[in-house]
Amino acid sequence: MDIDTTTRFREAFATAKHIIIIAGAGLSAASGIPTFRDGGGMWRSLDATTLATPEAFNENPSLVWQFYHYRRQKALQAQTNMAHKILARLAIPNLLKKVAPAAKSLHLITQNVDRLSVGAVSDLDNELAQQGLKGPGYRARKGSILQIHGKLFEVQCTKCDWRAEDFSSPLCPALGEAENDIRDYTDAGSNNRHIPVSQLPRCPECQGLARPGVVWFGEKPYHLDEINSLVFKADMCLVIGTSSTVYPAAGYAYRVQRRHGHVAVFNLDPSEKDEAASSLFRGGCEEVLSQVFP
C-alpha cells in the first residue's frame, strides 16, 4: 500500500468534521455474499440486476422469491468481516475520536441489505459493555447506519401497509422445497421450480402477495431527505466496495467533491468514482481498511 496516500488520507480524516461512508456489495464480499456486477452477480445463470426490478417480480414472483430466498440464506450464514468491524469501531464516538478528533458526526449509508453492518455495530456495543465501557460515548449513535436499499429480512405486503422483520428461513415451505430441487445454484440454468403465487409468502393481514422489503430499480430509496442533508454538510466521504453505478448513491461522492470535501475510494477494481477520489485505495476493503485504521 502507498504510504504517502495513507498518510495524506489519515491527515485529512483527522481534521474531518462530518463524515459519510457510502458502502456497496464489496463490503460484504469477504463474508461470502455475492456482489451484483463484475462477475459476482450471476444466480442460476441469470443476471442478478435483472431480478431486482418490480417488473421481474410482477412477471415471475416465484423466480424472484427463489432468488431472495437464496440471498437470505447466504446472509444468514455470513459472518461479519474485518471491514464491517472497522466501520463499526468508527461508529462509536469515543473510538472515532482516536482517529478523527475533530469529528462531529459519522454516518454509514449502505446499499447493502444484508444487515451485516448493523450486526457488527451491535456486536461491538455488547463487547464494549462487557469490558465495562459504558455511556453514550461507547455506544453507536442511533441512526448512524442508513440502509438506503432496504432490508433483506423485512417482508412487506404488495397490497396493504403490512411489513415485518422476519429472519426465519425458508419463509414458506415451497421455497425450502424449491431449494432442495436445485443444489448447484450457480449453474442450474432454466431448471427453476415454478411455485404458484398462493404458495409464496403471503400477508397475514390481507392475504395479499408479500415481497422482500428491498428497493428495486425505479423505486424510492429510503432516508433520502436525511441522506441529502448529510451529503450537503459532509467534508469527508469514504466510498467502499461499490461500483458506483446505481443512483442516487453513486452521485453522493461527486457532491462532496464539488464542495471540496475529501473523497476516499476503497475498491478491489477500478470503479466509476475513481476520478472523484482524493485518495484511492486498491484492494480488498477488509485488508486495506485494517491497514489504514490499524
Residues annotated as catalytic (active site), given as ranges: 149
172 annotated to a ligand binding site: no
Q: How far apart are CA 176 and CA 171, in angstroms?
A: 8
Least spacing, CB of residue 49 vs ligand BJW, in Å: 6
CB atoms within 10 A of CB 218: 8
Ordered DSSP codes for 117-148: HHHHHHHHHHHHHHTT--SGGGSPPTT-EEET
Report d(CA 119, CA 123) in Å as an integer: 6
Q: Is there a binding annotation on residue 203?
A: yes
Task: For residue 285, state whether it binds ligand BJW (rule: CB under 6 A).
Answer: yes
Q: How many residues bind Zn ion (CB under 5 A)?
A: 8
Options 1, 129, 160, 224; binder of Zn ion; rule CB under 5 A: 160
List phi, psi (to 5°) of 236.
Answer: -145, 130
Are residues 78 and 48 in contact, defined by beta-carbon separation less than 8 angstroms? no
Does 285 appear as a known binding residue?
Answer: no
| Amino acid symbol at 52 | A
Q: Tell whether residue 210 is a contact of Zn ion (CB under 5 A).
A: no
Burial class (CB in 10 A: 0-12, 13-18, 19+), 42: middle
Q: Which is nearer to ligand BJW, 91 or 289 (CB)?
A: 289
Give the footprint of ligand BJW on residues 64-123 (CB under 6 A): 111, 113
Q: Which three cell numbers stand for residue 118?
A: 448493523
Q: Judge whether 265 and 38 are in contact, CB under 8 Å.
A: no
Query: Are the C-beta atoms of 51 and 267 separated by less than 8 Å?
Result: no
* Per-residue interface string for the shown chain with ligand BJW, residues 33-62, x marking contact by CB under 6 A: --xxxx-xx-------x--x----------
Among 3, 247, 258, 260, binds ligand BJW (CB under 6 A): 247
Name residues whose C-beta falls within 8 Å of residue 151's C-beta, 6 or more positions apart in sequence. Answer: 113, 115, 165, 213, 214
Shortest Å distance, C-beta 84 to ligand BJW: 11
**What are the cell numbers at 107?**
454516518
Q: Closest approach of Cβ 17 to Zn ion, in Å?
A: 44
Amino acid identity for residue 216 in this structure: W
Least distance to ligand BJW from the beta carbon of 149, Å? 4
* Smallest separation (angstroms) from ligand BJW to the CB of 86: 12
Q: Which stretch binds ligand BJW (CB under 6 A): 1-9, 138-146, 170-178, 244-252?
A: 244-252
Binds 36: which of Zn ion, ligand BJW, none (CB < 5-8 Å by kind): ligand BJW
Query: Is residue 24 a contact residue for ligand BJW (CB under 6 A)?
Result: yes
Give the nearer residue to Zn ion in terms of CB position, either 14 or 160. Answer: 160
Give the rounded distance of the alpha carbon of 9 from its chain centre: 23
Query: Rounded distance, CA 209 to CA 69, Å?
Result: 15
Q: Which residues are annotated as a binding site?
A: 157, 160, 203, 206
Chain residues binding ligand BJW by CB under 6 A are 24-26, 29-30, 35-38, 40-41, 49, 52, 111, 113, 149, 214-221, 241-243, 245-248, 266-269, 271, 284-286
Q: Which residues are annotated as a binding site for Zn(2+)?
A: 157, 160, 203, 206
